[in-house]
Amino acid sequence: MKAGRKASGGRYKKPKKRKLTGRQGQTRIVKLGEKKTKLLSGRGTTKKLVSFHGNEANIMVNGKAKKAGIKNVLETPANHFLARQNILVKGSIIETELGKARITNRPSQEGMIQAVIVE
C-alpha cells in the first residue's frame, strides 16, 4: 500500500487549514437605551447595520406596522438573566406603549427591532 492511501486505493483528505475568515466575530449585546447603531463592512461590497442600543420597535398590529417605544424587557424564554439586564434578543417579551410584544428578529444582526403584539 502507498503512504497516505486507503486499503481501497482512495486517498485521505487533509484537514483544512485555519484561516482568518474562520474566526468567530465578537458577540454584540443589544441593550435597552438611546438608539445606537453602526455600519459594518462585510466580505466584498456588503454592508451590515448592527445595533448596540434600541428604544423603539416596529410592531405589527392587525397587519399594519406601527412604531412604539420600548419601556421594559419582561421575560426572555432563552435565558431569564437577559431579561433582568434589559437585553433585547429574538423571542424576548417586551413592554411597549401598545402593550406586550414579542421580538421576531435578531436586533444584533439587523440594526432595528421588529415585534408582534402578544395577547
How far apart CA 33 and CA 117 sit, in angstroms, is: 21
| Ranges of residues in the chain whose predicted pLDDT is under 50 | none
Predicted structure pTM score? 0.79
Question: What is the per-residue pLDDT across 76-93, written as a single tens digit (0 to 9) for each?
Answer: 999 999 999 999 999 999
Q: Please report the domains of the chain, with CATH numbers, ordered by start residue.
A: 23-117 (3.10.290.70)
How far apart CA 32 and CA 71 sit, in angstroms, is: 8
